[in-house]
Each structure stands twice: as structure tokens, then as C-alpha cells.
Amino acid sequence: MRPRNEATDQKPRSFIEAARRDQIVAAAIETLAELGYAKTSFARIAEHAGISAGLISYHFDNKSELFQQVVADINGLMDGWLTEHIGDAGSYREALQRLIEGFVVFCDTHRAQVLALGQLLAGVGGHENGELVRSQREQSVGQIEQMLREGQEHGEFRDFSPRFMAVTLLGSIEAIPAELFASPDTDVAAYAKELSMTYDLAVRRSRLSRMTRG
Amino acid sequence: MRPRNEATDQKPRSFIEAARRDQIVAAAIETLAELGYAKTSFARIAEHAGISAGLISYHFDNKSELFQQVVADINGLMDGWLTEHIGDAGSYREALQRLIEGFVVFCDTHRAQVLALGQLLAGVGGHENGELVRSQREQSVGQIEQMLREGQEHGEFRDFSPRFMAVTLLGSIEAIPAELFASPDTDVAAYAKELSMTYDLAVRRSRLSRMTRG
Amino acid sequence: MRPRNEATDQKPRSFIEAARRDQIVAAAIETLAELGYAKTSFARIAEHAGISAGLISYHFDNKSELFQQVVADINGLMDGWLTEHIGDAGSYREALQRLIEGFVVFCDTHRAQVLALGQLLAGVGGHENGELVRSQREQSVGQIEQMLREGQEHGEFRDFSPRFMAVTLLGSIEAIPAELFASPDTDVAAYAKELSMTYDLAVRRSRLSRMTRG
Amino acid sequence: MRPRNEATDQKPRSFIEAARRDQIVAAAIETLAELGYAKTSFARIAEHAGISAGLISYHFDNKSELFQQVVADINGLMDGWLTEHIGDAGSYREALQRLIEGFVVFCDTHRAQVLALGQLLAGVGGHENGELVRSQREQSVGQIEQMLREGQEHGEFRDFSPRFMAVTLLGSIEAIPAELFASPDTDVAAYAKELSMTYDLAVRRSRLSRMTRG
DNA sequence: AATGAATGAGACTTCATTCAT
DNA sequence: GATGAATGAAGTCTCATTCAT
């Protein structure tokens, strides 16, 4: 009598069901951000949500399924945010710059989400829910990689391995939440500027190259 | 009647005791790298070491103390490695380059250690053993920051927030183990070169600035 | 998501919850009386109750909380019993006599309870749950002491330290369960009579004093 | 290769063996008095004695055997003390008085021993080492009982059940250590006087009876 | 749809005891 | 005689999950 997983079963979820799932996911995010992966139990999540622990098992097949949903939700949120933020950039350099700054602002305005995501990616990382996590990460890397590659093809970026640079940039970005946690008074706007400038310097074609190439 | 902690008690550990502790730490590293933080229990570690779970409690006061030792050991190893690798660089640019490449090679040759460290820093991160982890990270950041600052003072690096850049660089470095895990065929040497070049571009004073300044 | 402690949280316990707690307390009393403090584990108590050991942890925060409840329940039972038994005595001598005989009968009819209480007071006594135990004992001593003091003020009892006499009497009373255990065929009614007479002789004003004083 | 128990094996213990056993028994007494029965482990006892825990197992077959020895030693000590204290009393009333006062002073001057004995008699009471404990107690009760009976036969004491009175008196005496612990400033000499007077009043033949009888 | 009672597995830890040295 | 390393059992407690209501 439990509602089936949406992915495997096409029966649509009822409204109330969807609302509860959202509420539980939100509570899970809070809990992960607050207590860390190791101490995030159904009991704690239920406390945060003001419901019983059993209800979580009712709405999710698994702890694993819950965490997958958390990751998916946060990723969706982030994707939406970035798409909106990047908008119609006039160049790849500008797009990259907006991407980076958008990420930083996202980290600032969605601290709980980013902390929670970090807990899940690492705490469970590459092992328990390995496939999900890896695929999510591959997706993030892939998107950045794609942008970088196109920028190279348009002659805006120098020659580097797009995958390498995507991984490197993603690493720099993922370090932000911890830094904001460690130094809460960080000037986020300045941080964003510095990061985008740093990567602009790292990827742009030098003036010399530009001249040479044409 | 357990052997006491070396830090608080000056009684030196016996040879066999030290060996067992090392063995347990090694088994813990393997287990963390293999199963991830969440599934790393005394029972699993003991399995890896071929001993009984109780023996771990006999040699370490706590799970916490064991993990602290793991972090300390890996950090010591890494410090030694990097000190040796950086050696006597002729300039700050060269030092930074050696640091980065050294790190990459270390990640390659000590995959389990780096994965384990990542599990501990994140899985436990900011929460359970927060102080230890934070202080360890601060130390790493601080060392890089110091080098960057000196490089600026010697006019080799452009003007940026050394703390910001240290955090950013560390993030890029910490992304490496996961990438090596995800893409095991990565050409590590090339990766190292690309990373050091990337950060060289990011931090060096532009030719224009150099002309202007002096 | 465990039910909270009633003392600190005003949410009332459900009926079934209260019943389970009572059942567990009863099983704990049986176990303590049967096996003694040292061998009374959750596993044994659960066996007695026909439930799983985990369920005890579900209903009680602690082993300590369980034992506190045991002590509180038995004390409550005893208080009720004695209040009822002493009733409206015409004099302090009579009241003391009824108190003592009531105690003896209580020990006889509630052997498990009295044995269990003894285990908790001694086994844990002055050490683990010291405060609780000490306060409970102080309360018992205090009540007897009060009655003795009033009896003195009314000229029914001779001059002695009420506290000393309360402690002494309580000791005599607490020795009863062990004696009933050791000599199960003891004539309890006779025992009760002998004890009350003994203390009557010990505390009453001598005929000479009574003449002298008034 | 372990030394055998003296009771079952007539081989006498070597001097050093006896000394070690005494040392361990002494440490056990300290530990019991300090930490209570539940927390008295070989490890703690060994700490107190400055030896290794294994050595206790070497000198005693069992935890049980160690505790039996503790009880036996304390009882022996107490017997010696009381024999000496009672000495040659001119009457049974006087003997009883000396016995009681001697007990009280013993409790005062041997607090650790009496606390430890209490822990063992109760904590383990009637259950684990039941036979030993019961027999030890029977012995104590028996000795007092014997004195009371003789006093009756000599017409010094009134008519009561000697066993009942012995148990009652022993209870009063055993309450003393806890009281001294709870109220450390108690005037021990006064306490002793009050206790002996109390029991004198309780057991002596009334003047009337004495006249009647002879 | 939701609760709360219940379980059984598994976590860390402590303990008495054994054994090689 | 003594140590300290080692074990295996048992202890309390937490957890995800199930199920009657």
C-alpha cells in the first residue's frame, strides 16, 4: 500500500504525497547541514519536520532513495539558478564569469543546500550510492566541460583539457561552502569577483596567442 | 589497563604496541577508502587487519582517537612528501609549481590515503571532530597562503587575496582523488602539468604589470 | 522519536506506553530480586518481560532512568501502603508500632520489591546514581525522624537523637528481606510483633521518667 | 603453573604469593569502597595496586575467589577486633554493650573495609556467590545469637527470639557505614553510646521481671 | 495518510580471562 | 612471578524499517 517510486512506476504522485516528500527532503537538508552525514538519522530528520520517523519510510523506499531525492532536488535547484544567472552572455568568457559568480552567490544564499550536498557527495561518496553520486557529478562536470570546449572552439579559451579544467574549477567551487562556514565574514561579492578573474586568467587565450592565431 | 595516549602521557609506546597501532591505522585507511566513512566500523577495520574488534578499543581510547591518528599520519606523510618534493626552488613561481605537481603525484601514489582523508574531513566535517578537522584544514590553507603571500611580497605574484587563492587551489587539489577514481586512466603527469600551468597563469604578475612596477 | 520523559516534558504518556513502562519496571524488579544487581542486564529484563531488549531503550532514555523509575515506583507503593496501614493512631507509640509492623508485613508481601530496592540502593549506592539513592534514603530517614521527634515533644519518647534512632530502625527494617529470604519459614506476624516491641522498649520513656517529668 | 587454591590444595602458598594476594585484596577493598561494586573491575583494582590486571587472574582463580577472599579477610579482621574489644566482660549486658560499641568504632576506623563488605554482601547478595555470603552472614548472626541466648539463660536478658534480635541488631549495625558516609561529622562515640543504650533497653529484663523471676 | 510501538541488526566499548614472553 | 597483547562475550544504545491501528 505504499506509493511507488516515480521513476519505476508511472503512477503520478498525489499532491499531498508530493508535498510531504518535499517537506521531508527539506528537513533532510537542514539536518545534514546541521549535524553532518554521520548523525543524520530518520529520527533527527523527523524531528526537524515535526513528523514521525515511520512516515519517512512510508514515503521513501529507502534512506538511499531519500538521499537520492535530496541530491536531485538540490541539483535541480542549482541548475535552475545557474541557467537563470548565466542568461544570454555575449561571449564564452562572460558566460564562464557569470557561471562562476552565480555559483558563488548560490553557495552564499543556499548554504544549507550546499553543505548538505557536500555531506552526501563525500560521506557516501563513491561507495554506497556510488552510481547516483558519480552520475550527478559527471553531469556537473560535463556541463562545465561542454562550455569550456565550446569556448575553445570559438577561440576564446586557450588550449587545455576541458575535462581537467572542469574538474579543477568544480573543486574550487566546492571548497566555497566550507570556507564560508569557516570564515563567515567573508565578502562574498569580492570572493566571487576574485574567483571569476582567477579562472579568466587561467583559461583565456593570451594576447599573444590571439594575435598569432588571428 | 590499556596503554595510554602518547600525547598526554610520556610513557613511550612499546615497539609491538606502535606496530599494532600502525597496522590498525593502515587498516582504517583501507576501509575508509573502500567503504566510505559511513560504513567504516571497528568490525570492518578489524576484518581488514585480521584482528578482533576489541583490540582496536584496546589500542585506541576512542573511534575519535583512531581517526585523529589517521588524519595525523596522513598529514605527516603528505608534509614529508611535499617538503621533499618542493626542495629548494629558485623562485616562488617554481615553488608553487612544484607544490602543485607534488600534490598531484602524491594523490596518484597514495590514493587510499587521500580518499580516506577526504572521507574523514567531509564525513565528520565541521561536526563531530570539528575542531581537529578544522585545525588541520586551517593548517593546510595557512601554509599555502603563506607561500602565496611571500610570492606577492617578492613581486612574483599578482595582487589577490592569499587566503582566497589558497582555498581555491586546495579545492582544485582535493578534487583530484575523486577524478582519479572516476577516470582511472587519467594521465597523471599531464594532469599535474596542466594544473601547475593553470595556477601559474592565475597568480603570476602579467608582463604589463611587471613592466609597470619595475 | 522516543517518547519523552514525563517529568521534563508535559506531554502525557499514552495508555499503551504507560502499560509497557509498568511492565518493564515490573520485569526489572523481578530480575533484580532474582539475579541481583550485577547480573541485571537489559537482555535479562527483556527476557522476563518477553520483549526485545531494544524496546527497553525505546521506553527509557537510560538504564539509569529505568532504575530511577523502579525506585520511585517501589517507594510510592511503600508510601501508600504505610499511609494506609498507620492510619489514625491514638499515640506516637502506637503510630511507631503500626509503622514497624506495617513495614514488616510489606516486606513479607512484597518480597521482590524489597529485594530489588535493596539491590539498587546498595549495588549502585553512593556511587553511580548516588544523588537519587541518597535523596531517597534521606527521605525515608527524614520521615521516621520526624515522627520520633514529635513523639519526644509530646513526651511519649525518651531523649535520644531522632536521626540516630531513625537510621538504626531503618537498618533493622532493611535487614528483614534478607532474613525472610534466608529463613523462609519465619513467622512474619511474630517477627513484626517482636520488632515493634523491641523498638517500643528502646524509645519509650521509662516509668520512672514519666513519673519524674509529669 | 598457577598456584592452587589453599582450601582445596594443601600446598602452602609461598611468602611472595601471600604478599601479592594481600596486596590485591587490599586494592580490591579500596576500589569497592571508592567505586562501588558495579564499577569494580580487575582493571581498576590493578590500577589501585599498581600491577597488571592479568596478575590478578594469576593469583586468583576467579573474580569470585577474589571477592570471597575479600570477605574472608574483612571478617577475620572484624572478628579479631571484636574479640579483643569485648575482652572479659563481667556480664552479658556489658558484653553486648562492648560488642556494639566495638562494632561502631570498627566501622569508624575501617570505613573502606565496611563499605567494601557492604558492596559485596548486597551487590552480589544472595545470588552470585550466594553460598559464601549467606554462610558469612549466618556466622555473624550466629555469634550474636549465641551471646544473646546465653544472656537469656543467665537471666540478664528478657525473653525474645535470639535469632530475631541478632538479625535486628546486625541490621542496625550495618546501617552505620552508610550513615557515616552520608553524615561524616557524626560524633562516633556518642553514636556508639546511643546504640548500646538503645539495645540495652531493648534486651534487658525489666526490673519487674527481675523481681518476679528471682 | 500517519502514528507510534516494536524488532533485530549492528554500533562502540568494557570486561575477565588466557597466553607467549 | 609478572607483563601486556589478545580474544570473545556481553553490555548499552541507536538505527532503519515494519506493521497494526
- Domains along the sequence of chain B with CATH: 13-60 (1.10.10.60), 65-213 (1.10.357.10)
Map grid coordinates 501508600 to a residue. C80
The yes-or-no verdict on residue B19 having pLDDT over 80 is yes
Mean pLDDT score, A72-94: 89
Map grid coordinates 546465653 to a residue. D150
pLDDT digits (tens, 9 = 90+) for C164-214: 999 999 999 989 988 988 888 999 999 999 999 999 999 999 766 666 655
The yes-or-no verdict on residue A23 having pLDDT over 90 is yes
Contact B179/B190 with Cβ under 8 angstroms? no
Cβ-Cβ contacts under 8 Å, C1 against chain A: 43, 46-47, 52-53
List Cβ neighbours of D154 (8 Å cut-off, separation of 6 or more). Answer: D92
Tell me how many degrees the CA angle D174-D177-D182 measures, rounded to the nearest 5: 130
Contact A73/A81 with Cβ under 8 angstroms? no
* Residue lying closest to nucleotide E7, CA to C1': C52
Which of D37, D100, D148, D157 has the most C C-beta neighbours within 10 Å, making it the best mutation to test the interface with C?
Answer: D37
List Cβ neighbours of C60 (8 Å cut-off, separation of 6 or more). Answer: C21, C24, C66, C69
Q: Which of C128, C138, C199 is facing D38, going by the closest CB pair? A: C128
DSSP string, B6-40: TTT--SPPPHHHHHHHHHHHHHHHHHHHHH-STT-
Strand partners, D204: D157
| CB C41 under 7 Å to nucleic chain F | yes
Supply the pLDDT for residue C133. Answer: 67
Q: Would an 8 Å CB–CB cutoff place B39 in contact with chain A?
A: yes
Contact B17/B2 with Cβ under 8 angstroms? no
> Which set of grid coordinates corresponds to residue B54?
576489541
**Alpha carbons C71 and C84: distance in angstroms, whole number:** 20
Cβ-Cβ contacts under 8 Å, A170 against chain B: 175
Least confident of A101-115, A125-139, D174-188: A125-139
pLDDT digits (tens, 9 = 90+) for B129-180: 666 667 777 888 998 999 999 999 999 999 999 999 999 999 999 899 889 8
**Alpha carbons A81 and A107: distance in angstroms, whole number:** 11
> Which set of grid coordinates corresponds to residue D154?
543467665
- Residue from A57, A56, A61 nearest A26 by CA: A56
What's chain B's average pLDDT? 88
CA distance C2 to chain A (A): 9
State the distance between the two ends of chain B, measured CA to CA, in whole angstroms.
67
CA dist D122 to B130, C118, D103, Å? 45, 7, 19
Burial grade of A65 (CB within 10 A; 0-12, 13-18, 19 or more)? middle
| CB C81 under 7 Å to nucleic chain F | no
Residue type at position A126: G
CB contact under 8 A, C199 and D195: no
Q: What percent of chain B has pLDDT over 90?
A: 65
- Residue from A125, D101, D14 nearest B33 by CA: A125
The yes-or-no verdict on residue D2 having pLDDT over 80 is no
The yes-or-no verdict on residue B98 having pLDDT over 60 is yes
pLDDT digits (tens, 9 = 90+) for D10-20: 566 788 889 99
Check the CA dihedral A28-A34-A37-A42 and report its sign: negative
Q: Which residue of B has its CA nearest to D47?
A: B1
CB contact under 8 A, D36 and C171: no
Confidence of residue C142 (pLDDT cuts 50, 70, 90): very high
Q: Would an 8 Å CB–CB cutoff place C191 in contact with chain D?
A: yes
CA distance D171 to chain B (A): 38
Confidence of residue D41 (pLDDT cuts 50, 70, 90): very high
DSSP string, chain C: -PPPPTTT--SPPPHHHHHHHHHHHHHHHHHHHHH-STT--HHHHHHHHTS-HHHHHHH-S-HHHHHHHHHHHHHHHHHHHHHHHH-S-SSHHHHHHHHHHHHHHHHHHTHHHHHHHHHHHHHTTTTTTHHHHHHHHHHHHHHHHHHHHHHHHTTSB-S--HHHHHHHHHHHHHHHHHHHHHSTT--HHHHHHHHHHHHHHHHBPPHHHHHHH-
CA dist A43 to A31, A56, A92, A93, Å? 10, 9, 47, 47
Q: Which residue of B has its CA nearest to D52?
A: B1
The 3-state secondary structure of chain D reads: CCCCCCCCCCCCCCHHHHHHHHHHHHHHHHHHHHHCCCCCCHHHHHHHHCCCHHHHHHHCCCHHHHHHHHHHHHHHHHHHHHHHHHCCCCCHHHHHHHHHHHHHHHHHHCHHHHHHHHHHHHHCCCCCCHHHHHHHHHHHHHHHHHHHHHHHHCCCECCCCHHHHHHHHHHHHHHHHHHHHHCCCCCHHHHHHHHHHHHHHHHECCHHHHHHHC
Phi, psi (deg, nearest 5) at residue B157:
-110, 155
**Alpha carbons B137 and B127: distance in angstroms, whole number:** 14
- Residue from C85, C54, C48, C50 nearest C70 by CA: C48
Confidence of residue A188 (pLDDT cuts 50, 70, 90): very high
Confidence of residue B88 (pLDDT cuts 50, 70, 90): confident
3-state DSSP call for residue A107? helix
C1’ F7 / CA D124, Å = 26
Least confident of A28-42, B174-188, C9-23, D97-111: C9-23
Contact C176/C187 with Cβ under 8 angstroms? no
**Alpha carbons D67 and A211: distance in angstroms, whole number:** 94
Burial A155-174 (b: 16+ CB within 10 A, else e): ebbbebbbbbbbbbbbbbbb
Supply the pLDDT for residue B127. Answer: 57
* Residue lying closest to nucleotide F3, CA to C1': D52
Least confident of A102-111, A129-138, D165-174: A129-138
CA distance A30 to chain B (A): 14
* Residue lying closest to nucleotide F2, CA to C1': D55
Supply the pLDDT for residue C158. Answer: 96
The DSSP code for A4 is: P
pTM for the full model?
0.88
Check the CA dihedral A194-A199-A201-A204 and report its sign: negative
Residues 27-56 in B having a C-beta less than 7 A from any atom of strand E are 39-44, 53-54, 56
Q: Which residue of D has its CA nearest to C206?
A: D201
Tell me how many degrees the CA angle A88-A91-A97 measures, rounded to the nearest 5: 85
Cβ-Cβ contacts under 8 Å, D36 against chain C: 123-128
| CB B14 under 7 Å to nucleic chain F | yes
Q: Which of A121, A128, A160 is facing B194, going by the closest CB pair? A: A160
Supply the pLDDT for residue B5. Answer: 56
> Which set of grid coordinates corresponds to residue C173?
527494617
pLDDT digits (tens, 9 = 90+) for A154-174: 999 999 999 999 999 999 998
List the 72-111 stretch of A: residues with Cβ below 8 A of B.
none
Supply the pLDDT for residue C4. Answer: 58
> What is the number of CB-based contacts under 8 A between chain A and chain B?
131
| CB D17 under 7 Å to nucleic chain F | yes
Mean pLDDT score, C142-146: 93
Mean pLDDT score, D157-170: 97
Cβ-Cβ contacts under 8 Å, C57 against chain A: none
Neighbours of C122 (CB within 10 A): 24
Where on the phi/psi map is residue A126: left (φ > 0), alpha (ψ -120 to 50), or beta? left
**Alpha carbons C152 and A134: distance in angstroms, whole number:** 84
* Residue lying closest to nucleotide E9, CA to C1': C54
- Residue from B87, C172, C122 nearest D199 by CA: C172
Burial grade of D214 (CB within 10 A; 0-12, 13-18, 19 or more)? exposed
CA atoms within 13 A on the CB side of B163: 12
Cβ-Cβ contacts under 8 Å, B9 against chain D: none
| CB B55 under 7 Å to nucleic chain F | yes
Residue type at position D14: S
Q: Which residue of D has its CA nearest to B2?
A: D43
| CB A37 under 7 Å to nucleic chain F | no
Q: What is the total residue count of chain D?
A: 214
Q: What is the total residue count of chain B?
A: 214
Confidence of residue B46 (pLDDT cuts 50, 70, 90): very high
Of B79 and B194, the structure prediction assigns the larger pLDDT to B194
Mean pLDDT score, C58-71: 95
Q: Would an 8 Å CB–CB cutoff place D55 in contact with chain B?
A: no
Q: Would an 8 Å CB–CB cutoff place D170 in contact with chain C?
A: yes
Q: Specify the nucleotide whose C1' lies closest to residue C41 (CA).
A: F11
Confidence of residue C3 (pLDDT cuts 50, 70, 90): low
**Alpha carbons A33 and A40: distance in angstroms, whole number:** 9
C1’ E1 / CA A16, Å = 9
Neighbours of B190 (CB within 10 A): 12
Confidence of residue D83 (pLDDT cuts 50, 70, 90): confident
CA atoms within 13 A on the CB side of C179: 26
State the distance between the two ends of chain C, measured CA to CA, in whole angstroms.
67
| CB C4 under 7 Å to nucleic chain F | no
Q: Which of D115, D123, D138 is facing C38, going by the closest CB pair? A: D123
The yes-or-no verdict on residue A95 having pLDDT over 60 is yes
Least confident of C176-180, D83-87, D189-193: D83-87
Do B and C share at least 3 CB pairs under 8 Å?
Answer: no
pLDDT digits (tens, 9 = 90+) for C87-139: 788 999 999 999 999 989 999 999 999 999 988 887 655 555 666 667 778 88
What's chain A's average pLDDT? 87
C1’ F21 / CA A54, Å = 14
